[in-house]
Structure 1
Amino acid sequence: MGEKGSGNVIPQIDLQDFPGQYEKLREVCEEWGCFRLVNHKVPSTLMSEMKSVVRSLLDLPMEIKKRNADVIAGSGYMAPSEVNPLYEALGLYDMGNSQAVDNFCSQLDASPHQREVIGRYAQATYDLAMDIGRKLAKCLGLISSDAFEGWACQFRINKYNFTPETVGSLGVQIHTDSGFITVLQEDENVGGLEVMDKSGTYVAVHPSPGTLLVNLGDMATLWSNGRLRNVKHRVYCKEARIRVSIATFLLGPKEVTLEAPPELVDAQNPRLYVPITYENYRKLRLSTKLQAGETLALVRANY
C-alpha cells in the first residue's frame, strides 16, 4: 500500500485504526517524516468543493490577489519569483480564527458560497492537524492532550503554472516546511511532488484522490528533541498542466517559545535546541535563505 519510486514506498497511516497505529506512526515519523493519511474525517465532497473554490481564487486578477497581505512574513500572496518562477500562492494566517478566515475571504471578494466552503474546510483541516499533533505527542509517550492548543495554523493554496517549455524544471525548490505539521491536499490529477528519503533519494508522491499527505517540518524536529524527521521535498514539472494543491500548516505557538518537553530530555538525550518562538525561527530562515532544514543547526544548544 502506498506509492513506489526508487524501490521505496511512502507509508500509510489509517486514522480509523487507533490505538493500533501509534507505534507505526512513531516509526514512520522518525524514519520518513511523511505519510499518506487514509480514512480521515475531511469529507471527499468538501475536498472537491474546496478545490473548485481554490482554482477560481487563483484565477483572480493580480490586483485582487495582491490584496491578500502578509500577517507574518510570507503568509499572504506570493507572486512568481526569480527563485520559483512557476509558483504562486494565496495564504491565510491563523485559520483557526473565524475572523481571520472572514478577512481572507473579504480580501478576495469571495462569494457567500465560497466563504461557506472555505470556512468548513478550514475548520475541518485545522481539527485534523490538531488531532495528528495530539497523536504524535501520545506516540512519543507524552500525556498532555492540550499541548497544541492556541498554536497558529496557516493555510496556503498553491498554483504551479506548468507549460510545455517548463517540463523537466523545478516548480518549487527543495525545502523543508518551517512549521510542525503540514496536511496537504494534492492535485488529484497532476503529480510532481517528490520527497527525499533517508538515503537522499527522491521518491515520487503520486496523486491519490481522497487521501491527504502529512509532512513534518522543522518545528517537529525541534519539539521532539531530534526524534521526528523534517522531510525535504520539492515539486518537479512533469507535464504541461496547471497543478493546484491546498496546504494546512500547524506552525507553532504564536508568542510562546517552543522547546522539547522535559519527558523527551534526559542524560542520554540532552536538549538539542535552544527555546525559540516560531516567528523568530521563521525570520531566521528567511534572513539566512536556508530553506531545507539547515536553520536548525543555528539554534542548536551548546554543551
Structure 2
Amino acid sequence: MERGVPAIDIQDFPGQYQKLREACEVWGCFRIVNHKVPLELMSEMKAVVRSLLDLPFEIKKRNTDVIAGSGYMAPSEKNPLYEALGLYDMGSPQAVQAFCSQLDASPHQREVIENYAQGIHELVMDIAAKMAESMGLDSESFMEWPCQFRINKYNFTPETVGSSGVQIHTDSGFLTILQDDENVGGLEVMDSSGSFIPVDPWTGTFLVNLGDMATVWSNGRWCNVRHRVQCKEATIRVSIATFLLGPKEEVVEAPQKFVDSEKPRLFAPITYEDYRKLRFSTKLQAGEALALVHATS
C-alpha cells in the first residue's frame, strides 16, 4: 500500500463514511478496494487499450471530439510523451458503440469495452453517492451527470527518464476514477504540505481524484488534488481514466447545507462547460481558475 493516500473499502459502509469524508477534505484522493469490477475484466480492458493505442494514426484520428479534448490527443509540444483516445458520455450505450466503430473494434473488443464502461459507470455513481452521503446529503445528485472516458499511453524512453509525462494539473470535473498501470509507476499527488507523494501501482484497485467541480460543489470543503506523471523508467505506461464531469446544462453550486455565516458561499454558480472553457482560455490547469469564479458578497 502506498504511503499516505487512504484506502476506502467500498463494501464497508456505513463504516467508511468518516474515513471517506476525511479523505475528500485532506487528500482529495483515495484508493477504492473491494469493488465489484472483476479483476479479469480490468485485465482484459488493459489489453484492449494497448491494442487500440497501437492502431495506425489514420484510424486513431477518427476518434473525434464531442466536447473539446474528448477525442484523440496526439503527442504535443507540451506533452510529447503522451497520447490518448477518448469517449464522451460513457454512460450512453450509443456513445460507446460509436467509439468502438470509430476504431474498428472487433466483436471481442466491443464486448470488453461495453462491459467495462457499464461496470465503471456504476462504480463512479456509487462513489459519488457515498461522497454525498458522507456529508449527510442526497445520494441522487449526480445520476444525470455525464462521464468522459480516456485511455492514456506514455511513450517513455531512456532519454526521458526523470522528465514529466504530464504536467502538474487538477482535473476540471467532479471526480476521476483511474485504473493505473499495474507495472509502471510515475503518478504523484500533492499532499497538504505541497510535497508530491508517489502513488505506487496497486493491482486490482482504482484511484479516485477529486477535481475542481468537487471543490465548487462542496463550497471549498473538499480538496481538488494537484497531480502529475513522472517518467520513472524507459517503457510504455498505460492507464484508463473515467471523469465524472458536471451536469450538461444546469449550474454547479454548493447545496445550501454547505453555506452559512461561518462558511459563506465561495463560488458563483457556473456550468461545467463554462468552467471548462475558462480553464482552456486562461491556460490555468492546476485549479487556479477557481479564483476567477469566486462569489461576490
> Which bin holds the TM-score, normalised by the shorter protein?
over 0.9
Give the residue type in structure 2 aligned to 1:35.
Answer: F
- Once the two structures are superposed, residues 126-180 of structure 1 have per-residue CA deviations (whole angstroms, 9 ceiling, x without a partner) of 11111111001111111x2211121010000000000001001000000000010
Partner of 2:78: 83
Q: Distance in 2 between matches of 1:194 and 1:171?
A: 11
* RMSD (CA atoms): 0.6
Cα deviation 1:92-123 (Å, max 9, x = unaligned) = 00000000000000000001110110001001
Query: Is the aligned partner of 1:26 residue 2:21?
Result: yes
1:151 is paired with a residue whose SS is coil
Q: Map 1:1-303 onto structure 2 (within 5 A).
A: 2-4=1-3, 9-142=4-137, 144-303=138-297
C-alpha contact (below 8 Å) 2:173/2:212 kept by paired residues: yes
Aligned AA for 2:175?
I
> For 1:230 and 1:291, how far apart are their aligned partners in 2?
12
Cα distance in 2, alignment partners of residues 152 and 262 from structure 1: 23
CA drift of 1:264 comes to 1.1
- Supply the distance in 1 between the matched residues of 2:139 and 2:176 (Cα, whole angstroms): 19
- Greater shift after overlay, 212-221 or 255-264? 255-264
Asked whether the equivalents of residues 128 and 139 of structure 2 are also in contact (C-alpha less than 8 Å), the reply is no
Aligned-partner SS, 1:155: strand
Q: Given residue 41 of structure 1, which amino acid in structure 2 is its aligned partner?
A: K
Which string of whole-angstrom CA distances, capped at 9 and with x for unpartnered residues, describes residues 5-37 of structure 1? xxxx11111111110000010011100000111
Answer yes or no: is the 8 Å Cα contact 2:28–2:224 preserved in 1: yes
The answer to whether the 8 Å contact 2:151/2:238 transfers is: yes
Gaps of at least 5 residues in structure 1 are none
1:75 maps to a residue whose letter is: S
* Number of residue equivalences: 297
Residues of 2 paired with 1:277 and 1:140: CA distance?
22
* 1:252 aligned counterpart, secondary structure: coil
State the shift of 1:302 in Å.
1.5
Q: Deviations over 1:40-69 (max 9, x none)?
A: 111100000000000000000001100000
Q: Secondary structure of 1:253's partner?
A: coil
Percent identity between the two aligned chains: 75
